[in-house]
Each structure stands twice: as structure tokens, then as C-alpha cells.
Amino acid sequence: MDALDIARLQGILAQIEHDAAQATDRGQVATYIPELAKIDPAQFAIAVSLPDGTTLTAGDAAVPFSIQSISKVFMLAIALGRLGDQLWQRVGREPSGLAFNSILQLEREKGIPRNPFVNAGAIAVTDAVLAGHQPKDVLGELLRFIRMCAEDDDIHINKSVAASEQATAHRNIALAEFMAAEGNLRNPAALTIGTYVHQCAVEMTCAQLARAGRFLTNAAGAPRLVSPARVRRINALMMMCGHYDGSGEFAYRAGLPGKSGVGGGILAIAPGRASIAVWSPGLNERGNSKLGSAAIETLTRETGWSVFG
């Protein structure tokens, strides 16, 4: 990308941030994890990282936030590296059409979660990585992997957020116990959920998250930490399942694979071009960042980066 394009992109980001600052309806911050309910919903950040690591930002892009379900993408990459296609015996690859924490399908489908991004599926993925290892080692591996992706060691787990989620994790414990009843859990539910809530409590800034996503662009010059074939498949899952029952709407509006988190972050990938992170803590009714989704829609419209041309 030449200097003129970079200047234009910076202008688009500044405009998106300006528009977000005017918004009156910013959605609702998640309250079921009490620590997240304390976050100021007025904050907004956007960052675009180019394959070589050049990162453009606007807004609060240096403020760390809880990446929550975005961590599921990184744990999935680790799980696929360790188990390969065997992972798919335990987790499906179809969109769920249901809320991220729903238990309905799990009963009907005999303890096999629809995809690795709904909570049940992500818990199964974490459980698969954990089997035969200690939680601290798995969390250490996750942090090392994310730090390597971002080329930044200043990325940590927020223990207060993890404790806060653990104290209210009844639904996730129910999902894990249900999978155990169906023979789809390898560790005690408490161990798997304890690992999972810490994984979700990883904190990153928008700039760090955008940089960390570059390995998913399959672009020349980006870090190659996962094989190109696997990157394509992770992107397919993000496109179809990354926003839960809002995945169709996100694909329709943004035209990019993306993964949201209840902390208000979204990681979106423009294959071959850039990794994009947004953060706005207020969520829409599907639990995805309200202004964040709109910001990525504007960005793809202005840049022409939709995967659909």
C-alpha cells in the first residue's frame, strides 16, 4: 500500500471514529460478567494492521479490553495444530442460529456443539487442548501464541475478569456437564471451565488485536504461524459462525470473516489485505458490538475490502 493509500485509510478511520463519537444509541454493555458491566460504554477504538505490521488507529486504540470470545479463534488454531481434523469428531462446523450460550441444540445433537465459536463448542475446544496438560501450561501456550501473533509480549490475562466470570459461570458449567454426560468432555468440568474463563479474560488493545490477526490474512509479508489451508478454514468458520445468530447479518453488512466478543471487540479479516480490530463495549441484541459492527461495515464499504468484491 503506498503512502497515498495509507493517508486515505487513516482518513477513513478518523471519520469512523468521529461518527461513533456522535452515536446516541451505543447498545448495552454485558452485565452477566460483573467486571464487564463496569466498563465505560463511551470508549471506541479501531485499528487496521497491514501484513507488514504497519498499524493505523483511531480512538482509544491503546486501551486494553477483554477480548472474551475472540480468544476462541486463537485457541482453535492451537487445537487444530495439536489434533488436526480429529477435532471435528467433537465439534461441528455449522452455524447455530441460536444465542452464543444456548443449550438447546446440545441436547438435540447429543452433546456435539454446532461449531467451535458458540460457548459449548469453544469449551469442547479448550477441553481438547487441555487433555493431558495443566491449565497453567495451556494458558501459557495461549498467551505465547497470541504474543507471537501480535509480536508484542505486553499481553496478559485479567485475573479479576476471570474470577468475575467464574463466579457467574453457571450456564457454561451446565454446557460442560451436559457434554460430559454425553461423553464429549475429557477433563472434569471445573478444570475445563476454569481454563476457559481465563482464556476469555485475555486483555489486549485494539492495536495489539489487529496486529495479532495478521496471520489470518494469508497475505505475503504477514506472520505465517498456521498453514494457508488451515487459515482459509478458520476464516470460513469466522464468516459462518463468528457472530453467532448475528453471523448472517455481519456477513451481509461487512462481507468479511469476523469474530466478536462480549467485551465489545471484533476481529475481522480482509484476506490478503489487512487485519481489523474494533472495540466499542455496547452490544446489540445478539451480543455483538453495536458500533463495532457498524464501523466494520463502513470500513469495507469505503475500502472495497468485502470478500465478495
Binding site for ligand DON (CB under 6 A): 68-69, 100-101, 119, 165, 172, 200, 260-262, 287-288
192, containing H or E segment:
helix 189-200
| Nearest-approach distance from CB 5 to ligand DON, in angstroms | 32
Q: Which is nearer to ligand DON, 56 or 142 (CB)?
A: 142
Q: Which is nearer to ligand DON, 255 or 281 (CB)?
A: 281
CA distance 65 to 47: 14
* Residue whose C-alpha is closest to residue 91's, from 66, 71, 68, 110: 110
Catalytic residue among 29, 48, 66, 69: 69
- Cβ(42)–Cβ(26) below 8 Å: yes
Q: Which is nearer to ligand DON, 60 or 165 (CB)?
A: 165
Check if 252 is active-site: no
| Phi, psi at 111, each rounded to 5° | 80, 5
Catalytic residue among 29, 49, 96, 244: 244
Catalytic residue among 29, 48, 71, 72: 72
Which of helix, strand or coil describes residue 278?
Answer: strand
- Cβ(225)–Cβ(148) below 8 Å: yes
Which of helix, strand or coil describes residue 49?
Answer: strand
How many other C-beta atoms are found inside a 10 Å radius of the C-beta of residue 285? 11
Q: Which residues contact 112 (CB under 8 A, 6 or more apart)?
A: 90, 91, 92, 106, 182, 184
Check if 72 is active-site: yes
Check if 32 is active-site: no
- Cβ(235)–Cβ(271) below 8 Å: yes
Q: Which is nearer to ligand DON, 13 or 297 (CB)?
A: 297
Q: Which is nearer to ligand DON, 80 or 169 (CB)?
A: 169
Residue 57, CA atoms < 13 Å, CB-side half-sphere: 20
Catalytic residue among 262, 278, 280, 290: 262
| Nearest-approach distance from CB 96 to ligand DON, in angstroms | 12
| Nearest-approach distance from CB 272 to ligand DON, in angstroms | 26
| Nearest-approach distance from CB 285 to ligand DON, in angstroms | 12
Q: Which residues contact 282 (CB under 8 A, 6 or more apart)?
A: 26, 27, 28, 29, 41, 264, 289, 290, 291
Q: Which is nearer to ligand DON, 200 or 219 (CB)?
A: 200
| Nearest-approach distance from CB 243 to ligand DON, in angstroms | 8
Catalytic residue among 29, 129, 196, 259: 196
| Nearest-approach distance from CB 101 to ligand DON, in angstroms | 5
Q: Which residue is nearest to ligand DON (CB)?
A: 69
Indicate the residue type of 193: I
User: Which residues are catalytically annotated?
Assistant: 69, 72, 196, 244, 262
